[in-house]
Amino acid sequence: MRKIVLGLLLASSAAKGMNPADTTITVFTTAENTKLRLTETGKLHFKPSKQPMETEVCIFVDPAKSFQTLTGIGGALTDASAETFAKLPKDRQQELLQAYYNPVKGIGYTLARTNIQSCDFSSDTYSYVAEHDSLLKTFSVQHDQQYRIPFIKAAIAAAGGKLTLFVSPWSPPSWMKDNNNVLQGGKLLPKYYQAWANFFVKFIRTYEALGIPVWGLSVQNEPMAKQKWESCIYTAEEERDFIKGYLGPTLQKQGMSSKKLIAWDHNRDLVFQRASTILEDPAAAKYVWGIGYHWYETWTGSDMQFGNVQKVKESFPAKNLLFTEGCIESFKRDRINEWFIGERYGYSMVNDFNSGTVAWTDWNILLDENGGPNHVGNFCFAPVHADTKTGELIYTNAYYYLGHFSKFIRPGAKRVISSSNRTQLQTTAFLNKDGKLAVVVLNLTDKEIPYQLWIKGKAAPTVSLPHSIATLVVE
């Protein structure tokens, strides 16, 4: 099938007896000021097309030019998401799980992240060990048994029994740190480097014994941010040395060398400096699967710095890039239907994938009517909110923007060239293992833009609606 479709896409006169004109393009659209939400909006067909004029708007795709392989797309299963989920009626719980994890009736998430110990999106701070238990004899995830573990298991089941999960700490226990506090930054004391490395192993083993497979782990969430919530500072050199001297060897000795170790896990602004410091050291680099990053560099007034991500890929092509967290901050209930929310996701995802990213992880998949719970008042938006008083689920347009990628671009898909001749239309494209080509077209303008999908001398005319995202599935 894949060879047939490729033959069609490459516009050969016949591919195993099939006519290129028979290739069908199904268009799915989400657009502002319409009722279109991941809605099938038409079928297109290719026709022969000579050299386009420069006056013609085109999206050019070349499926023969392929790049990174997609690991997955998904969101974080935090304490806040789990606690909110538990307050929903059973039918709404099932609706949410289907909406996120069913690839036919929902958007088919295949990737997840969860926190090791508490984070800001927990109802309070907590630890898995007693004070000064460096041997971890008191280690217990009993706290997580109430909400989070059942929630993660329900998500795995809804995803068909398999969900690629990575785990991240926000802070070591307070007594392991120089500020004796899980909040407000501080640093891991060198005398506890080994105990903290052992802590990762203990957590992974415990979760896996409970039926939750762990695919990977990041070293530290946001290691350059001193936050009023759980946080811990590592310089690039400190993270490098912790990886090569403790965490990497410990994972290897404990039979966990297959776990994907992710460094950085912070914003794009410093991503190259961090990656180069760690990956230029062979003793550290051998343990690192990839570099994770977030999108919050915009707090400085900067735009999203995709070029820095691309520079990491260019400099270290053997390593992977993983978007580990992003959300719209400063929750306000009266803004929940504003269109900018989804557009930020679309803008980031198109450009992150074009920069070489293999996986993309949203932050909380579900929050309550206040943008929480959050024990420090850091309330944020999620793609779906629950009104815990009425049991209602509220889908923001971010849910649909995410679905334009996750539903149609599946694990194992290869990114292929997709190029626009107008900045008003942004695009990325992936060729799935089943031979279906998914081309995403993003329009952030107020204008309706007619354009052609053009592949090797064949073109199909269509229209991009104002403030819209469309996925064109070619098969």
Give the CATH number, domain containing residue 60.
Answer: 2.60.40.1180
User: Radius of gyration (Cα) for the chain, nearest Å?
Assistant: 23
Residue 371 exposed, middle or buried by CB count within 10 Å (0-12, 13-18, 19+): buried
- Domain assignment of residue 3, yes or no: no
Q: Which residue positions in the chain have pLDDT lower than 50? A: 1-8, 10-20
- Positions annotated as catalytic residues are 222, 325
- Residue that terminates a domain, selected from 411, 437, 457: 411
List, in order, residues 6 or more apart from 32 with CB less than 8 Å away: 339, 397, 466, 467, 468
Instruction: Give the per-residue pLDDT at 21.
Output: 54
- The domain total for the chain is 2
Nearest alpha-carbon partner for 348 in 411, 405, 396 = 405
Nearest-5° Cα angle at 110, 108 to 113: 130
Nearest-5° Cα angle at 408, 405 to 411: 85
Kind and range of the H or E run holding 100: helix 90-101
- Domain assignment of residue 205, yes or no: yes
Instruction: Give the per-residue pLDDT at 53.
Output: 96
Tell me how far apart the alpha carbons of residues 252 and 56 are, in angstroms, rounded to a whole number: 56
Instruction: Give the per-residue pLDDT at 19.
Output: 39
Task: Please name every residue paired with 380 in a beta bridge, in sequence order, or none if there are none.
Answer: 329
Instruction: Give the per-residue pLDDT at 361.
Output: 98
Give the domain range for residue 180: 72-234+254-262+305-340+352-411
Tell me how far apart the alpha carbons of residues 433 and 186 are, in angstroms, rounded to a whole number: 46
Instruction: Give the per-residue pLDDT at 12.
Output: 36
Per-residue exposure over 357-368, b if at least 16 CB sit within 10 Å of its own CB, e if not:
bbbbbbbbbbbb
Nearest-5° Cα angle at 228, 223 to 230: 50
Say whether the peptide bond before residue 223 is cis (omega within 30 degrees of 0): no
Nearest-5° Cα angle at 444, 442 to 449: 75
Instruction: Give the per-residue pLDDT at 15.
Output: 31
- Domain assignment of residue 206, yes or no: yes
> Quick one: 157 and 229 in the same domain?
yes
Tell me how far apart the alpha carbons of residues 163 and 146 are, in angstroms, rounded to a whole number: 21
Question: Helices (H), strands (E): how many in the chain?
Answer: 13, 21
What are the strands, taking DSSP E only, across 374-467? 384-387, 392-395, 414-420, 425-431, 437-443, 449-455, 458-464
- Residue that terminates a domain, selected from 411, 441, 457: 411
**To the nearest whole number, what is the mean pLDDT of the chain?**
95
> Quick one: 216 and 153 in the same domain?
yes
Give the orientation angle of helix 340-354 with respect to helix 397-406, to 10 degrees: 20
Residue 370 near residue 114, CB atoms below 8 Å: no
Kind and range of the H or E run holding 292: strand 290-294
List, in order, residues 6 or more apart from 298 with CB less than 8 Å away: 304
> Quick one: 429 and 311 in the same domain?
no
- Domain assignment of residue 393, yes or no: yes
Tell me how far apart the alpha carbons of residues 142 and 68 are, in angstroms, rounded to a whole number: 39
